[in-house]
Structure 1
Amino acid sequence: MPRSVVGLLGSRPCCRTSGLREGEVCWEIIEGMVLSYDNAECREVAAELLRRHGELQAEANITSQIREFLVRTGLVESSDIREEISPAEGSSNSVDLAALDTLIEVKRRIGNGIVPDSAHVAQLDGYLTAAMDASKGVRIGILTDGKHWLLRWPNAVMINTSPPYAFVLTDADKWYALYEWLRDNALVVRRDIEPSSEEIRDQFSPSNPLYEREIDTLRAMYEKYAEYETVAVKRRLWEDLLRTALGEVVQGDEFDDLFVRHTYLTMVVGIVVQATFGLDVNQMAENDPEDLLKGRQFSEATGLHGVIETDFFAWPIEVGAASLIKTIARRVARFDWSSPPTDVAATLYQTVIPAQERRDLGEYYTPRWLTKAIVEEVVADPVNQRVLDPACGSGAFIAECVEHFLNAATQQSVPETKLFELLREAVTGIDVHPVATHLARAAWVIAARPAIEKSVSTAVTVPIYLGDSLQLRYQSRDLFAANNVTIGVGDDANTELVFPVALVNHAESFDQMMVDVAEYIESGEDPKLAMGDVPLTDGESETLSETIDKLKDLHAQGRDHIWAYYIRNLVRPITLARNKVDVIVGNPPWINYNQTTDVLRDELVNQSRNVYGIWAGGRYATHQDVASLFYARCVDLYLRDGGLIGFVMPHSALQAGQHTKWRTGEWKARGGARTLSVDFQVRKAWDLERLEPNDFFPVPSSVVFAERRGEDGKARPLAGTVRQWVGATGSANVRRVDMEITDTSAGVLSPYSNLSRQGATIVPRVLFMVNEVSNPATVRVGGTVTTEPRRGTNDKQPWKGLELTNLHGNTIENDHIFDIHLGETIVPYRTLVPRQALLPVKQTANGISKDSASNSGIDSRSLGRRMQQRWARINQVWEDNKSPSNRLSLLERLDYFGNLESQLDWRHEPGNRPRRIVYTKSGEPTAAILDDNDAVVDHLLYWVTAATDDEAYYLIAVINSRVLYEAVQPLMSKGQFGARDVHKHLWRLPIPEFDGGDSLHVDVADAGRDAAEGVERELVNLKQRYAERLTVTIARREVRKWLRESAEGRRVEEVGGALLG
């Protein structure tokens, strides 16, 4: 391709310089012209710009050369640039350059190098704010002196001088890098961008300055108007639903930030959906930007209602966000939406909400290869079967079901005019997550475009509903009386909205009427016009008329017609339960009961225990998750007898104790009032643990199928064999192998199970674990130690981010400091240097002096005076920062299940078992003898007492052996990287109690002693070899290598194998 000079035309860049090999040339095609990376003319323009900067020439000279650079590189046309213009009508100020939507303020020097003068920044910020207030859009600003370039936007508080927020043109050869920086971060010039996942992530990522510009603007608007009634009611309803969806995983100000980002996300998704249907969102933004959030033009053009509407996230149109809406619409319009991917909404969500945050929220997305496999497995007749996803999330299953339907309809030559109505009946979704429904609706309509285009319907709603599939927040008996549905608003007047059951049961009529009511109220027309030809009795019409009056009053009070949207969605799960479906698919919530809100938690436990009889409780209580209840409840409420369900489940559903009763397939209500039966063997469950890489969910997963047998049918349990998938994740050549299920809740075989106990829950670490520091005082208090909190890489939020200044330099009585052993202080056969912690008990005490009348739970007289003060401080930190769902006091957390008290009791009275060994809770089993009887064991270790040294060596030899690890792996719970937690699973192996008269037992003990002595020698060598670089990871790796290669290690495997058979 010949090199040529850039034409003075609009630009359409197509490539970047990243990834170029030495000697290669990058070419940019600009409206038929070619821009090469080594273009001499562009380099000369940049050189002249740097010369004028270096000579400290007048601002006007630098400005004219910047203009020349913008035009010569084709970033803008000459007509797109205006000089010395006012940022807003009536303003006496003027900005040096305006290029497209970007304001450029030029100085001879912006400050000290790239660090700007605050006055210059304030000047540009003032221009940007004035432009936004004048509804000219949320613009990007550039402060520059020709060499240093700094991005700004409205409400950008911090000054960021690092890339991509700033750029330094160090020499003329870097002109192309400046061109790219301006193109990608400041001047919105790219058009017809393919909406690939990569491009969407790049354009809407939180690391993109354009995203920051928009989110900062929206955040500032929310902070200003958060107390407005119309905003507050949306925020409250959103939070109520989000707590139901996610449990108590977000708190405090995090909720406000998440609400803002959810609002931003739904704004973008809504505008994208409109663009995919061919609407000119740029033109709409100019004529009526608010309608991009209301969706009136979209509904008129497509006949689709309930896709774009004024729900929780429409508050920006009520607080003057027209400029922001225009700006977002312009960005969306840069893409070519003629053939959008069906997962575009999900991609946007995963872009705006980072991966770690989604993991913290418990939100995970089902990959396409898995949704496709499940849908094909259970939906045999997509045209004639009704399918429900009761936890539809981002719409992965919804899109798959829609495409499955359309493919089948094409093969069966279904008349095109009937496609849409059949599809509306065929694929339905529900989710209680306020954003999920936006994503799923987008997935539904984008996948369904071929059917929508052929539809003859003029007004229909999309069958994706915001609702509680478990029907726990509102039981049907609470809402539905014989003739009416009643919903409380929750205001001071105890307002109730009442609807005739006859109307609610006709989903399409009810939905459309509620949409019309909302639109009439919004436009100021009589909302009772929406009653139209709805067939009701006189009494029903009177009831409905009174309710519409109340909705109108709520809107007049500033409480908004959000209630029309809220009610329409709220009742849908209950009406669906009256008209059961043929197939259920999906991926239910994987949150533990203890993460749920207080009110819901009690009802969840009640449902599990009393309605379905699947509650395990006891030692499984903390592991019990909602997935199995969600499975049972959805089968009960929505699936017809003979219908099929296919749900993605955690791998533990196949074998762990917390799911034992659920796996029977016979779910019995307490008192024998009712039994619901399913056949788990109608399809073999899929075990997905052996797929690699196994990173598509946070823990290994499975897929469990069942057929509903009804209340009189015969159940068949989830037992026998499963179909294990083996191979590369998502590959077409994955092997499926039938394997036996290992029930990890099988009966205990070893007597050591009753002798092993988990250590104390010394968390949050930063409140207890300490490092000793020097006391600066020249005269020190005797019998004390000065400490600071010990920080660790595994500390979790919010504790990780706390400053804890009042815990630094604490001088505490010596007898409150304890040596602590954790997982990180144990290697095979030996302990390492223990950590230290300050505990609310004296070393000389026989136990914790508890006082239920005290706020801290401890008799303060049992503590040293200094420790009393520290205990009060950390108790306050705990109460201020613990999760709202956590009902435990700090002492209850520390001594959970008496796991600290039991160690103190044993220390005082060891009985006939004076020796103690410890082993790790997770990972490859690692055990050692604990010689210090005063040391406290943390919950990441289990401790077992022994009568003699021989018994102790016997136990650590068995636990450290490879033969035990291989035997226990099938019983261990699984993590993302394989078998993870040991707990007490090893005692399900036939490990007999030590018998000194049994020669094999003695051989094992002797082998353990020899191995321990060998490891001690090896640790001495390692300390000399690695010195300060020796970590527990290195120590374990090297010790295990020595055990594999040494005679002592091989002897352990030999006798250990003989013992375990």
Structure 2
Amino acid sequence: MGTEVEFNNITVAATLAKDIRIVAERARNEEELRIGIEKLLEPALKKLGITTDPRYEKRISRTILTAAGRADALYGQAIIEYEPPGKLSTAKGKGSTKKQIEGYLLGLAGSGKQREDNLRRVAGIAIDGQSIFFVRYRADKPLPQETIPKEQLTQFALFEEEGPQGSFVEIGPYQITEESINEFLMYLRALRRRRLSADELGKEFGPEGDVAHQMVNALYTRLEECLTAPGHLFPRVETLYEEWKRIFGIVYGQEIAKARKDALALARLYHIDQFTDLKPLLFAVHTYYAFFMKLLAAELLSLQQGALLPSISEQIPGALSEVLQSSLHNLENNTWFEAQGIRNFLEADFFGWYLDSWNVEIEEAVRKLARCLAEYEPATGTLAPEDTRDLLKKLYQYLLPRELRHDLGEFYTPDWLAEVVLNDVGYTGKPEMRVLDPACGSGTFLVLAIRRIRDYAQSSMTSRAKGERELLTHILENVVGFDLNPLAVISARTNYLLALGNLARHMSGKDIPVYICDSVLTPQSQRTQKRPLAHQKDIPVPSAQKEFWIPEEIVDKGNLDELCRLLEHCIEAKNYDENDFISLCRPQLKWENPLTEQSLIVLYKKVQRLEKDGRNGLWARIIKNAFAPVFRANPRFDYVVGNPPWVRWGYLSDEYREATKKLWADYGLFSLKGMAARLGGGEKDFSMLFVYACTDYYLREGGRLGFVITQEVFKAKGAGEGFRRFRLGEEGAYLRVLKAGDLVSVKPFENAANKTATIILEKGMETSYPVPYTVWQRKKGVGNIDTATPLGDVLTLTTREELGASPVENKMSAWQTTSKGEGNALIKVKGESAYKAFRGASTEPYGVFWLKLKNVRSDGMLVMENLPELGKRDIQKVDNINLESDLVYPAVRGRDIKRWQANLETYVLIVQDPNTRKGYPESRMKNEWPETYKYLQQFEASLRTRAAFIKYYEPSDPFYSQFNISSYTFKPHKVVWKRMANDLVATVMSTFSTPFGNKIGIGTDTTALIPFEDADEAHYVCALINTSLIGAFIRSFSSAGRGFGAPSIINHIALPKYIPTNPLHGNLSALSQQAHRLATQGKVYEKELLQVEQEIDRQASKLWGLTDSELSQFSSFRKIG
């Protein structure tokens, strides 16, 4: 036991370093050095399970070390190259030694298909007794050919193999010190442990493996037992679950309803048979993931503090049950982490509930997880950092089905995209510059910022140990993250530790600066809200147990940390009443206002009561974290970066919408009024408020914000107008947009069609136009770009076009993005329209009003079936419906429209009186169309509960009333185009020949239309709308998808009134009619149709006064069909 204790002691590396230096002083050559050092190493090598390879070559003093039966170790073999004392202090000596090691590592890797992987699993160590350096292979760096020995090059030629794709990197040299020998021991231990990589962990700990099945099952089953147990036998479990559920509701909002359909798939994934609800199951999965991260973090810290054996994971499997539970209590209440120098690793964590409901099944699952994790090498992040990149991010993606993650709105930011933002914002990693990610998620931006700081500082370190301590201090003070999701915070803190690597050994009584808090609804923002009379001088902290009220005076004096420490101390001591608490606090907190003391008594009594009820939810730590936005933003940050939540206003939880309503108004983000506000408000995105709030709260004057954001903030009409004021309220700071990026076509997120954009802005300056606007496109033939692709490769796979962005109308209107040449041409197309466009008929639910014709009876009645599969609502399928033909019309949806033609696939039931703008009176329906009325009665309950019906109609109005139907709906000719597309594609729609007669076509709500009495006039307008000029103009300010092609786009186009006697107008009308005829003939006349379209472009350019040169810029926009 004595040897093991000594080996686990942090002094082992220091002792070994000292002894090696003594050996070096006495050694006369490398052979004596090797013998002396290996005698010192022998006890350590034995403990690590490493044997000396018999291929020792005496004449060159090289020892090969291999793992004992560990074929999948992080490093399968390590070569120690001994050199004469002092040789590595010269550039020539170091260079020749490195070259020797590289050649030998290539020889060990062998040849064949596994060569590349073998190279990743060999390591070289050079030591001369005074200095040491390490050599390892990096697959992402090219390997110079001159490095490869001649015999290896010959071998490549013989077998026609490709050489290595990467290169060897040198780490060091370092003087022989405690730190460098500790790193040396890491390499040796890596010989017996598996590589800590996302793919390896995914196989072992993901849902396909036994570990996850066993533990998630045990946790979920036990959680359900605790939540349903009579008499509240597990109050702390209930409390932690309720608090998680409260935050879950804020984080995911109304997305939860969308995700419920994925619950069964999640249950099947983990082999759970008895399943009731998504939330408890998700809580169990989150608990499993959190526990894994806690053990991993403990492994990392144990390693960095020098305790190489045994690790926490190695102790758990064989510990007695009581000892095991005690150890886990120390882990979960942060005692273990505090002993390692980290005060807050598990602060405000909700996932330790399993200890309050411990049973045999959970214990067995915990032991199994620990046993498997103990086989992995936590030093991978230090020895091979490329392997741990995105480690936890990828593991989480393994744990939850993609559909569920997407329905919950969970999309991880690819590293390359975060790199783009950091580059654009100008963050170089200068250690003194402060950077915040206020929606840090798993910590992508934080990790990249830390890497930049370490790269920046590496060349300027003089004393390694001193430099590391200073660097760690800079990082902990200046790289900060906030997130409301407790699971994300644990993940970010663990990733933060991984990124610190060997700097973590210098942690002592410090916080990892990642906090569970709301970046928008901060305690400071609560001061402007209405408060109860008894708490006028207090700040609320929300919780599942109602608010905790914190005295303003304590916060303003900067004493909140001390208050939370004293509160926790007194509660844990259990023998302090409120008077004892106040007596302890008074000299420390030094308040002056007597109301402060009363509020402190109320606060203490509440926490004390919760403790007595068994509902201790770590309240003091939750309160401390909630105030992080107040204290960590002093001084304010130089950079605020990240990927804020993209949640539409309508998908926010009801409580959060209400709580943030004042902030939206104060920042001027609600620019719409009346009906437009009711309709457009639901389209606003929470990321808009996030940008404004974070710029206001956290960014210094002159500081820069860089966010990944939805492109709709630039292009959306109505909903984005308030955002495009770029000013904090009426009198606040201006925001200058420095640059915007459009990555819609690249689709950077995993299998998601989000309209991705980036925004870079500076606080304190007014935006000037045009704003530089970069449009990214994938090169021809490039498919989806994997999220793990490095930025350099992404740049190779894409093109970037530099455009300018300016408001299409007033300063708040949608941005028009054009090149310089296009802008001069498109300004001639811009103007007032003589025509007004309308949205197509709203006939929801589709399952009621959309129909398929089966037959026409001899008496003229129609036999039809409804189409519930085309809608989102759950509508009963009805077959063989008998309907009068009067109210049934050909339906033209957006998907039915091609350029110059419309296909008929469905019919629509129109029961709206175009004059009264309500449904036809029920009395008339019963008399004139009784079968139609009878059919609709089946769905009365569904029709009355439509949100739009409740909002816009009275209960006494016909229950089948529809929307956006007026006299224009029934005009004989209409120019219709598809909305929510990526190009403007229009056709003239008149009557359709149906089996029950000629009927006017009805454009549905995925179309927009202009009504006409005259066909020639309709064709004139259709010709202009279908020009490449108008398509380019519309695309320049209307983003593809949801907002594209809205009726309002016509307001910006110069569409002169049709004059029958004007030859140019007549030509355009005739050309449109010719194009319609050719389009119906199919591909046979494709060439002729293209010629007609080109002639339409030429005629239209005359109408708008474009030159031939200006017109030629838009030929690429011409699309056929």
8 Å Cα contact 1:487/1:498 also seen in 2: no
Which of 380, 388, 400 does residue 339 from structure 1 map onto? 380
Question: What is aligned with 1:787?
Answer: 865
8 Å Cα contact 1:750/1:992 also seen in 2: no
Question: SS of 2:412's equivalent?
Answer: coil
Whole-Å separation in 2 of the counterparts to 1:522 and 1:257: 38
Deviation at 1:756, TM superposition (A): 1.0
Whole-Å separation in 2 of the counterparts to 1:362 and 1:836: 35
Q: Compared with structure 1, are the counterparts of its residues 1057 and 872 closer, same or farther at alpha carbon in structure 2 (3 Å cutoff)?
A: same
1:954-993 maps to which residues of 2 (within 5 A)?
A: 954-974=1020-1040, 984-985=1048-1049, 988-993=1052-1057
Which of 283, 305, 311 does residue 349 from structure 2 map onto? 311
Which of 453, 459, 475 does residue 526 from structure 2 map onto? 475
Deviation at 1:946, TM superposition (A): 1.9
Whole-Å separation in 1 of the counterparts to 2:193 and 2:1045: 51
Unaligned runs of 5+ in 2: 1-48, 51-66, 73-190, 261-276, 303-310, 382-387, 780-784, 786-790, 814-828, 992-998, 1107-1121
Question: SS of 2:407's equivalent?
Answer: helix
Question: What is aligned with 1:836?
Answer: 907
Question: What is aligned with 1:662?
Answer: 723
1:951 and 2:1017 aligned: yes
Deviation at 1:676, TM superposition (A): 2.0
Question: SS of 1:304's equivalent?
Answer: coil
Percent identity between the aligned chains? 18
Deviation at 1:750, TM superposition (A): 5.5
8 Å Cα contact 2:637/2:698 also seen in 1: yes
8 Å Cα contact 1:384/1:426 also seen in 2: yes
1:825 and 2:825 aligned: no
Deviation at 1:531, TM superposition (A): 6.3
8 Å Cα contact 1:366/1:696 also seen in 2: no
Q: Compared with structure 1, are the counterparts of its residues 193 and 785 closer, same or farther at alpha carbon in structure 2 (3 Å cutoff)?
A: farther
Question: SS of 2:919's equivalent?
Answer: coil
Q: Compared with structure 1, are the counterparts of its residues 626 and 33 closer, same or farther at alpha carbon in structure 2 (3 Å cutoff)?
A: closer
8 Å Cα contact 1:685/1:703 also seen in 2: yes
Deviation at 1:722, TM superposition (A): 3.3
Question: What is aligned with 2:589?
Answer: 536
Whole-Å separation in 2 of the counterparts to 1:553 and 1:260: 28
1:9-24 maps to which residues of 2 (within 5 A)?
A: none
Question: SS of 1:971's equivalent?
Answer: coil
Question: SS of 2:1086's equivalent?
Answer: helix
1:367 and 2:408 aligned: no
8 Å Cα contact 2:988/2:1019 also seen in 1: yes
8 Å Cα contact 2:492/2:514 also seen in 1: yes
Amino acid at match of 1:594: G
1:918 and 2:976 aligned: yes
Deviation at 1:611, TM superposition (A): 3.4
Question: What is aligned with 1:906?
Answer: 968
Using the TM superposition, name which of 918-927 and 223-232 deviates more.
223-232
Amino acid at match of 1:590: W
1:578-657 maps to which residues of 2 (within 5 A)?
A: 579-602=635-658, 604-612=660-668, 615=671, 618=676, 620-657=680-717
Q: Compared with structure 1, are the counterparts of its residues 627 and 891 closer, same or farther at alpha carbon in structure 2 (3 Å cutoff)?
A: same
Whole-Å separation in 2 of the counterparts to 1:209 and 1:523: 47
Whole-Å separation in 2 of the counterparts to 1:869 and 1:326: 65
Amino acid at match of 2:291: M
Amino acid at match of 2:406: R
8 Å Cα contact 1:247/1:595 also seen in 2: yes
1:731 and 2:792 aligned: yes
1:544-563 maps to which residues of 2 (within 5 A)?
A: 544=600, 547-563=603-619
Q: Compared with structure 1, are the counterparts of its residues 1047 and 536 closer, same or farther at alpha carbon in structure 2 (3 Å cutoff)?
A: closer
Question: What is aligned with 1:241?
Answer: 247
1:636-1035 maps to which residues of 2 (within 5 A)?
A: 636-657=696-717, 658-669=719-730, 674-681=731-738, 684-688=739-743, 698-709=753-764, 715-717=766-768, 719-723=770-774, 730-731=791-792, 738-745=802-809, 749=830, 752=833, 755-771=836-852, 785=863, 787-792=865-870, 799=873, 802=874, 804-805=875-876, 817-838=888-909, 841=911, 847-849=917-919, 874=939, 876=941, 889=950, 901-906=963-968, 910=971, 914-921=972-979, 922-932=981-991, 934-974=1000-1040, 984-985=1048-1049, 988-1018=1052-1082
Q: Compared with structure 1, are the counterparts of its residues 807 and 301 closer, same or farther at alpha carbon in structure 2 (3 Å cutoff)?
A: farther
8 Å Cα contact 2:564/2:623 also seen in 1: no
Question: SS of 2:733's equivalent?
Answer: strand
Amino acid at match of 1:333: A
Amino acid at match of 2:350: F
Whole-Å separation in 2 of the counterparts to 1:382 and 1:875: 66
Whole-Å separation in 2 of the counterparts to 1:328 and 1:198: 17
The TM-score with structure 1 as length reference comes to 0.67
Question: What is aligned with 2:91?
Answer: none
Deviation at 1:950, TM superposition (A): 0.7
8 Å Cα contact 2:450/2:499 also seen in 1: yes
Question: What is aligned with 1:288?
Answer: 324
Which of 452, 455, 477 does residue 425 from structure 1 map onto? 477
Render the CA deviation track for 1:751-797: whole Å, top value 9, x for unaligned: 5585211113344533543445699xxx99995745343424xx65x
Paired residue total: 818
1:65-464 maps to which residues of 2 (within 5 A)?
A: 192-208=193-209, 210-227=211-228, 228=232, 229-251=235-257, 253-278=277-302, 279-284=311-316, 286=319, 287-289=323-325, 290-291=328-329, 294-296=332-334, 298-308=336-346, 311-320=349-358, 321-340=362-381, 341=388, 343-376=390-423, 377-379=425-427, 382-413=430-461, 415-455=467-507, 457=508, 459-464=509-514
Question: What is aligned with 2:30?
Answer: none
Render the CA deviation track for 1:320-365: whole Å, top value 9, x for unaligned: 2333333333343343222242532222222223333333333322
Amino acid at match of 1:715: E
Deviation at 1:1002, TM superposition (A): 0.8
1:31 and 2:69 aligned: yes
Whole-Å separation in 1 of the counterparts to 2:550 and 2:948: 35
Q: Compared with structure 1, are the counterparts of its residues 1045 and 346 closer, same or farther at alpha carbon in structure 2 (3 Å cutoff)?
A: same
Question: SS of 2:701's equivalent?
Answer: strand
Q: CA RMSD in A?
A: 4.7
Question: What is aligned with 2:38?
Answer: none
Question: SS of 1:836's equivalent?
Answer: strand
The TM-score with structure 2 as length reference comes to 0.64
Amino acid at match of 1:200: L
Amino acid at match of 1:336: E
8 Å Cα contact 2:839/2:964 also seen in 1: no
8 Å Cα contact 2:868/2:877 also seen in 1: no
Amino acid at match of 2:486: P
Question: SS of 1:231's equivalent?
Answer: helix
Whole-Å separation in 2 of the counterparts to 1:221 and 1:719: 60
Whole-Å separation in 1 of the counterparts to 2:659 and 2:597: 35
Deviation at 1:397, TM superposition (A): 1.0
Q: Compared with structure 1, are the counterparts of its residues 506 and 453 closer, same or farther at alpha carbon in structure 2 (3 Å cutoff)?
A: farther
Whole-Å separation in 2 of the counterparts to 1:390 and 1:267: 24
8 Å Cα contact 1:284/1:292 also seen in 2: no
Question: SS of 2:256's equivalent?
Answer: coil
Amino acid at match of 1:701: T
